[in-house]
Structure 1
Amino acid sequence: MKKMSNGLKARVTAGSLLIALGIIYGDIGTSPLYVLKAIVGDRTITEDLVLGGISCVFWTLLLQTTVKYIWLTLKADNQGEGGIFSLYALVQKRGKWLVIPTILGATTLLADGIITPPISVASAVEGLTMVKSLGEIPVVPIVIVVLSLLFYFQRFGTQKVGSAFGPIMVIWFTMLLVLGLNQIVHFPSVFKALSPHYAYNLLVNYPHGFWILGAVFLATTGAEALYSDLGHCGRKNIRITWGFVKLSLVLNYLGQGAWLLHQGADKLDGINPFFGIVPPWFLLPSILIATAAAIIASQALISGSYTLINEAINLNFWPRVSVRQPSDNKGQIYIPSVNNILWIGCVLMILYFKSSTHMEAAYGFSITVAMMMTTILLCYFLIYHLKWHWLLVLSVLLVFSAVEISFFVANVAKIKERWMFLFFELFIFLVMYVWFYARKINNKYMRFVDLGKFAPQIKELSEDESVPKFATHLIYLTKANHRHEIEDKIIKSIFAKKPKRADVYWFVHINRTEHPSTLEYDVTELIDDKLIKINIHVGFRVQPKTELYFKKIVQDLVQNKELNLHNRPDGSTKYNQEPDFKFIVFKKYLSVENELGIKDGFLLKSYFQLKKLGQSDERAFGLDKSDTEVEKVPLLLSNCTQFHLIRNQN
């Protein structure tokens, strides 16, 4: 077996730490802009409310973000890559039913990405209304312009974006830390909020205190996106930077709490506690820094969404769409269609809700679902990969389930504010469900034959000069895993109607591996210099460039004088030095002769409609159109047998 380049492992450098700050922590890092404001809302400011709210935030960050994601979930890296699909790839063999929590987790994470950018940017821009001369400034148009610019610059790659955003986030977290300390030094008694007693008191004794968890959850919504962005920055970079980020967040929340308890008013009356702790002389600069940080808050979700869809495509959960790599760095991708969907969704959200306060009421429900699904898959990983004792895993499951179910119940109340989200989430779920299970049905009815039975005929055809030569090298893409098997449609293609004569017949199998960045191949000679099988093992994060790989493999075989290919003509002439290659790609369509049940009919019809919206197979596999011929093949699953045909006797 031979290997191609597998990419580089993420290293810890000053630059990589800066990029991690720029990409990973935008969402969770800007939570202080709205968390305390959402907790207090229009309630009367009391010590029980403020200290209880901060205590809940602190323990949520400790349990959910630090313990579950930074310590445990980041262990579940698939050769340095993260996200729910990477986690699924590690545990998929442990149960077929794990497909459903995977689809649910991916759906909700992608759907909630539409509200993360507008709520972060709107919260920051609204601070401008606190400046006397800017009190009437229109917030919505500014937010739309900022978001549009952000999505435009995604095409240049997350590394460039992260390099530019990193220094801004250093300034942002430093500002959080300093502003928090500035209040704490005057009222150090606020540190008692770190005791779990105050969180318990809020949830149990405060009137309707349990439902405040819906606002508390906003403090950790970026944790799932943090795991999805693992491949962009690396585990060590994330863990090292989290210490600085968490310290800044906790001190800022404590500072806001100190200000709330001593600012002299019973109600917020529209004042954001975050900007309340800012000295008047620093208000405008803080708003500008907050706006810049809020722009970056969108980045973790956007880059995570690219990763999510790229994995979904390669694991057969999503139709094939265009995926670009703006740089040579592993994990740096850009998906135009996802970028456009997110941009349109974000603009519609700000136009519908108009303010961050209204968005707070609708935010968080989907992420609680995503976190619960991750917990299910994580438990399988801990048992089967880390070999933890089942009792220890059960303890982990009980702790995180108790926390996440509590957040879920508290967030259920938000359904009425976010009902329009359900249609978007249903659409994403159906796309993934249909694509995955329709392909299962398709593959179930795929027929394979023994290639050895047809080897003499193929050899005879190759040497029959009475048949016009179709190509010097004829290449079929095959799904056959076994050495001597081939799809019957390939045999029919070779012999049917106009037989395809070639000097060498190649069968190329693209094997998607459970590892993200694999790029290896092996070669098997079935008939001397006549029938050759190539298996190219491609990681689920890698965009296949099949024609490029094939030509490189043939070049290696010729240079190494393997299979005697160096003694054979390759089809090139003095007029054209390029070898004569021809790839055959099959395009299936649903035959009208099928009699399908309701479920199978829905799945397959939807599947073929989705295929029309995605990339063609030749583009998806990286084949040049001039070297490719597409053959249409009917998909016949069940013959229509129940009919009565009567001859007219007249």
Structure 2
Amino acid sequence: MDAKHSHTAISTAGLLIALGIIYGDIGTSPLYVMKAIVPERITPMLVYGGISCVFWTLTLQTTIKYVLLTLNADNNGEGGIFSLYALVRRRGPWLSAVAIIGGSALLADGVITPPISVSSAIEGLEAVYPGIPTVPIVIGIIAGLFLLQSFGTQIVGKAFGPIMLVWFSMLAVLGIHGVMMHPEILKALNPYYAYDLLVNYPGGFWLLGAVFLCTTGAEALYSDLGHCGKGNIRISWIFVKTCLVLNYMGQGGWLIAHQGEMLNKRNPFYELMPEWFLLIGISIATIAAIIASQALITGSFTLVAEAIRLNMWPKVKLNYPTDVKGQLYVPSMNRLLLFGCIGVVLYFQRSENMEAAYGLAITLTMLMTTLLLTMWLYSKKVPLAAIALFVVVYGAIEASFLIANLIKFPHGGWVSLAIGATLVSVMYVWLRAFYIKRRLTEFVKIDPYMDALKELSDDDTVPKYATHLVFMTSAERASEIESKIIYSIFQKRPKRADIYWFVHVDTTDEPYTMEYKVHELAPDDAFRITFRLGFRVEQRINLYFRKVVEDLVRNKEVDITSRYESLSKQHVTGDFRFVVLEKFLSVENEFPWVEKLVMQAYFYIKQFIASEDKYFGLDTSSVKVEKVPLVITPVRDVALKRVL
């Protein structure tokens, strides 16, 4: 099966996996959406209009924009805002700002998703056990979920699909039960009721902030494209949307049956359940909320890994706990998300307070996706009239959602925006610092140094540093090398070796590229290896380098036997030693003030993360990290006067 077909292929297993890992966020929204739309007195205008808004939001935003349009913008089968950015990044440097804002907002609102989903589920227990303290239970569940991440989710993941099938089936059955209470609720499918609510209901427009909660998982749906393929997502979405709409309709039926009453703390979702089923329903809802949180955590790890390879995030340690393709664990991000989620639960206490904060940041992500998607449509030579229609329609829809969500700012929306702003700052600093360092790194031609390198290799008066000396280089051209590496070999402490290796890692815009090239710089004395790795490929340079050397030995292109006379007779393989140059800020600098702030922030953050050898997956027992000064602009004129 070719790659292109596999991304659209449909299978029963694929449909079940899609149910399990893609629809967690959007699938648990019935727990809190109607409760947010109808905060106090139940009125028919509010109920009919709210459900009409929910249905048309799911249709326009989730179905048309994401399921039908955005899923086409796949990067070799991978989705998400950074994959989309990788497709269009060459269309303008300003697009990096769009990707940074979108990615940061997605991570920020993700801190609220586990607390609101789990809290909404657990608060159903209050109907059975009034006065039960829900906060400790919610924190316990969330803490347990994050502690499990380091083991990988392969075993649990297999159970996700069947459980979510039960969840969506339960949504549909409860919904049908509610619709039967008041069959006329089906009239809410008419968009007139949505228009009537937004235009004629006092403060109706601002209710869009609550309506928006029904589609917050659409961005996650696109991010998880690589796990299931667009064919499975599109087919399974028909089932999922049907179950969601039925449940919203059912909640509407129950609300109309109780019109004129005050909702108080009652949740229409749980009110649909018969009393004997309540504990079973709460258990299923809690498991579904945990699955929704798990999908979001996995998505956050993937997002951070992509940001690292696009030079937008510090090179933190990435673990791969299982052999499942694409499954990874980011310890530092896991800790940040855990503390963030517990902080949200302690600060807001209840799900209705979290509703007031949820959704504001994600509207920014959707607007940024619209901008990137517009550039992608343009690159695909789509007619300008169609692109203009797309921009006008979705620009208007998402701008309306953003404005309506701004009312949440003083009620907790500032929390997700503050987290998002912090993440934007880190990403901006990291990307800007990358370009500053690249601009100021001095590269020299490597050929003129080859004779000196061979002479050093043969010079018995210099103690041997290693049999094989491996330098990580950022030089993109095979004919060049950093001047700091030449300085390290010849001047800092002469590093004599039998064979010198220069390794460069080039991150591609495709997700799973795994290629390498070998350049022989000097026969039997110096080689350069260039790895071309996709932005979702694990950086295990130690392993890949060993594999390349084995291939070279097999092809008789290099002899790695130790050149010590006594060891050579025994055919003992020589030792390998890696050298990683780590830059620090030189005191001999004169900065433009913006670059000064950027670089100070960059080096301040850098002190809290592990050195680059951990990120590259190098064997720590054979790595030497050398500090080299980064001189931005050396001070030229020094007013120094000699005195007698």
TM-score by length of 1: 0.94
Q: Give the aligned partner of residue 356 of structure 1.
A: 351
Amino acid at match of 1:62: T
Match of 2:382 among 381, 384, 388: 388
Deviation at 1:529, TM superposition (A): 2.3
Query: For 2:94, what is the secondary structure of its paired residue?
Result: helix
Q: Give the aligned partner of residue 526 of structure 1.
A: 521
Q: Give the aligned partner of residue 476 of structure 1.
A: 471
Q: Give the aligned partner of residue 446 of structure 2.
A: 451
Match of 1:62 among 44, 56, 59: 59
Deviation at 1:570, TM superposition (A): 6.4
Listed one character per residue, the Cα deviations across residues 509-550 of structure 1 (whole Å, up to 9, x for unaligned) are 111111111111011122222222211101111121112111
Aligned partners of 2:7 and 2:77 also within 8 Å: yes
Match of 2:586 among 586, 591, 595: 591
Match of 2:238 among 243, 254, 270: 243
Q: C-alpha distance in 1, partners of 2:344/2:493?
A: 57
Q: C-alpha distance in 2, partners of 1:99/1:567?
A: 44
Deviation at 1:145, TM superposition (A): 1.0
Amino acid at match of 2:127: M
Q: C-alpha distance in 1, partners of 2:568/2:447?
A: 33
Deviation at 1:187, TM superposition (A): 2.8
Q: C-alpha distance in 2, partners of 1:402/1:76?
A: 22
Match of 2:134 among 123, 136, 139: 139
Aligned partners of 2:357 and 2:416 also within 8 Å: no
Q: Does 1:414 align with 2:408?
A: yes
Q: C-alpha distance in 1, partners of 2:8/2:334?
A: 25
Aligned partners of 1:226 and 1:300 also within 8 Å: no
Q: Does 1:25 align with 2:23?
A: yes
Q: Does 1:83 align with 2:80?
A: yes
Aligned partners of 2:47 and 2:255 also within 8 Å: yes
Deviation at 1:207, TM superposition (A): 1.4
Match of 2:634 among 626, 629, 639: 639
How many residue pairs get aligned? The number is: 637
Q: C-alpha distance in 1, partners of 2:184/2:217?
A: 29
Q: Give the aligned partner of residue 492 of structure 1.
A: 487
Deviation at 1:362, TM superposition (A): 1.2
Aligned partners of 2:319 and 2:328 also within 8 Å: yes
Structure 2 residue runs of 5 or longer lacking an equivalent are none
Q: Give the aligned partner of residue 231 of structure 1.
A: 226
Change (3 A) 1:570 1:228: farther
Q: C-alpha distance in 1, partners of 2:19/2:631?
A: 53
Deviates more, 1:67-76 or 1:56-65: 67-76
Amino acid at match of 2:112: I
Amino acid at match of 1:387: K
Listed one character per residue, the Cα deviations across residues 60-97 of structure 1 (whole Å, up to 9, x for unaligned) are 00111111111211222222222111111111111000
Q: C-alpha distance in 1, partners of 2:237/2:568?
A: 61
Q: Give the aligned partner of residue 16 of structure 1.
A: 14
Change (3 A) 1:612 1:570: farther
Runs of 4+ residues over 6 Å off in structure 1: 8-11
Deviation at 1:421, TM superposition (A): 3.5
Amino acid at match of 1:183: G
Q: Does 1:35 align with 2:66?
A: no
Q: Does 1:400 align with 2:394?
A: yes
Deviation at 1:575, TM superposition (A): 7.8
Q: C-alpha distance in 2, partners of 1:482/1:421?
A: 42
Deviation at 1:154, TM superposition (A): 2.0
Q: C-alpha distance in 1, partners of 2:43/2:276?
A: 28
Match of 2:104 among 103, 107, 114: 107
Aligned partners of 1:45 and 1:267 also within 8 Å: yes
Query: For 2:588, what is the secondary structure of its paired residue?
Result: coil
Listed one character per residue, the Cα deviations across residues 15-68 of structure 1 (whole Å, up to 9, x for unaligned) are 3332322221111101111111111111x3222211111111001001111111
Identity of aligned residues (%): 54
Q: Give the aligned partner of residue 329 of structure 1.
A: 324
Aligned partners of 1:229 and 1:307 also within 8 Å: no
For 1:128-527, what aligned pairs fall within 5 Å after superposition? 128-131=125-128, 134-384=129-379, 386-418=380-412, 419-527=414-522
Aligned partners of 2:562 and 2:573 also within 8 Å: no
Aligned partners of 2:20 and 2:164 also within 8 Å: yes
Listed one character per residue, the Cα deviations across residues 543-601 of structure 1 (whole Å, up to 9, x for unaligned) are 21112111111110111223xx2496566667894432121111111011111122111
Q: C-alpha distance in 2, partners of 1:214/1:322?
A: 37
Query: For 1:323, what is the secondary structure of its paired residue?
Result: coil
Deviation at 1:420, TM superposition (A): 3.5
Change (3 A) 1:643 1:481: closer
Query: For 1:479, what is the secondary structure of its paired residue?
Result: coil
Aligned partners of 2:182 and 2:256 also within 8 Å: no
Query: For 1:496, what is the secondary structure of its paired residue?
Result: helix
Query: For 1:449, what is the secondary structure of its paired residue?
Result: strand
Aligned partners of 1:92 and 1:98 also within 8 Å: yes
Change (3 A) 1:560 1:98: same
Q: C-alpha distance in 1, partners of 2:531/2:30?
A: 48
Deviation at 1:458, TM superposition (A): 1.8
Aligned partners of 1:23 and 1:158 also within 8 Å: no
Q: C-alpha distance in 2, partners of 1:587/1:620?
A: 13
Amino acid at match of 1:407: F
Change (3 A) 1:9 1:470: farther
Listed one character per residue, the Cα deviations across residues 193-226 of structure 1 (whole Å, up to 9, x for unaligned) are 1111111111111111111101100000111122
Listed one character per residue, the Cα deviations across residues 330-351 of structure 1 (whole Å, up to 9, x for unaligned) are 1111111111111111111111
Q: C-alpha distance in 2, partners of 1:629/1:297?
A: 43
Query: For 1:82, what is the secondary structure of its paired residue?
Result: coil
Aligned partners of 1:18 and 1:163 also within 8 Å: no
Q: C-alpha distance in 2, partners of 1:388/1:298?
A: 37
Deviates more, 1:347-356 or 1:72-81: 72-81
Query: For 1:443, what is the secondary structure of its paired residue?
Result: helix
Amino acid at match of 1:194: L
Q: C-alpha distance in 2, partners of 1:211/1:93?
A: 38
Q: Give the aligned partner of residue 544 of structure 1.
A: 539
Deviation at 1:643, TM superposition (A): 4.5
Change (3 A) 1:48 1:457: same
For 1:606-625, what aligned pairs fall within 5 Å after superposition? 606-625=601-620
Aligned partners of 1:118 and 1:350 also within 8 Å: yes
Match of 1:46 among 43, 64, 69: 43
Q: C-alpha distance in 2, partners of 1:331/1:108?
A: 23
Query: For 2:74, what is the secondary structure of its paired residue?
Result: coil
Deviates more, 1:574-583 or 1:491-500: 574-583
Deviation at 1:648, TM superposition (A): 6.2
Amino acid at match of 2:96: V
Q: C-alpha distance in 2, partners of 1:498/1:298?
A: 52
